[in-house]
Amino acid sequence: MMKTTLQHNFYTLDSGLRLVVIPMPATKTATVFVLVGTGSKYENKNINGISHFLEHMMFKGTTKRPGTMDIARELDSIGAEYNAFTGKEYTGYYAKASAEKLDTSLDVVFDIFLNSKFDEKEIAIEKGVIVEEINMYKDLPQRHVGDLFEQLLYGDQPAGWSIAGEKETVVSFKRDQFVDYFNTHYVAENTIVAIAGNVNPEEVKKKVQNYFKSIRHGKSIGKPAVQEEQDRPKQLINFKETDQSHFILGFRSFDMFDEKRYALSVLAKILGGGMASRLFYEVRERRGLAYYVSAGTSLYTDSGSFSVSAGVNNEKALEAIKVILAEVNKIKNQGITEKELQRAKDNAEGSMALGLEHSDGVAMNYADSVLFHNKVLTPDEELAKIKKVTLEDVNGVAKEIFDPKTLNLALIGPFKDEKVFQDILTI
């Protein structure tokens, strides 16, 4: 079996902050990554979108670097790649640069995390930026259909709301709401720092300890438990004059702590995980119905889904959905083969090897496991669990989740008659 050969050092610092350092002597880069255990599922209706807005504000100036350009110029001057992202259950900030510039990366990333100003003028300007970001996403059907699918699954609760929020809410935010959210969610106990690359773990530990001496403290704020109720197939058809119909067809599945997730990931690879998958062959190669078609999983702390995504000719949308449902039904009733199982395992091993070549991918992988499991789950350990998946495991999971009662279809396209889709949602 592949060995990552990556050692790691995991520390819980005096402040309560958790730090994982992964030395990668063969690379010339180092990534500084900070992950916070908060996202849109931790919001209420009045502040939906604040996690994402706050992420934007973290690049708008600190006491040491007063303006946006002070931060950008410093990172650009060392050739760094840097960005941030917000999910439903986490928010992350990172900078990747030459390992020789580690001190600069540390100083800038930690400065924005600890000392952002949330200037009122900058907040007012950024409202316009985020409204345009929301408009952009709604103009990208391939992206927007994902929001509609989660809205269909979870409805009017934080899990079903958009990460970016609604425009009306975003423009209403006041500075004190950012300060309050920042002080209560961005605390040591809820923060992971991961540093991967050509670094010395003990030196890194000392530096991180020094930076975070005065980090905020507080109990991690919980989120409401996801409510799930469904007893029949559901659909959400969004009428839009598009040249192509984009849809996600999916089922409710398991959360990220369920051991069946490994069999589920194998199932996703076999059904729609690449050019040799069943759906790619049947939908694209054999019938020419789509340019892209793929299967995947979305696993959260207390819910999950298995879905198929595709972009198809408008006139062929019904046919494509029928073909996908037929392939789902075939796996449910007839199962997979030993050859398919082995190919999926080999694919997982190869993908993991590629992901471990870059310091940013490694830092994010390790931080993610610490945030959600409070321990490092190494790629070797994850791969070992995938390798243990049996034919019976995959076939059992397929029979369990491919249930017509938990089938959901979100679609964007020029369709006004929803009943035509309702009539074919069966397996």
**Active-site residue numbers?**
55
* Cα 204 → chain centroid: 27
64: number of Cβ within 10 Å: 13
Of the candidates 129, 140, 56, the one whose C-alpha atom is nearest the C-alpha of residue 93 is 56
Instruction: Give CA–CA dist 377/362, Å, rounded.
Output: 12
Which is it for strands 81-86 and 9-12: parallel, antiparallel or unpaired?
unpaired
Question: Which alpha helices (H) appear in 248-378, and where do they start and end?
Answer: 261-272, 278-279, 317-334, 338-355, 359-373
AA letter at 268: A
DSSP-derived pairing of the beta strands 191-197 and 18-23: parallel
Question: For residues 254 and 261, is the Cβ–Cβ distance under 8 A?
Answer: yes
Sign of CA dihedral 247, 240, 228, 48: positive
Rounded-to-integer distance, Cα 371 and Cα 35, Å = 8
The pair phi, psi for residue 15, each rounded to 5°, is -75, -15
Q: Is the separation of the CB atoms in 325 and 53 below 8 Å? A: no
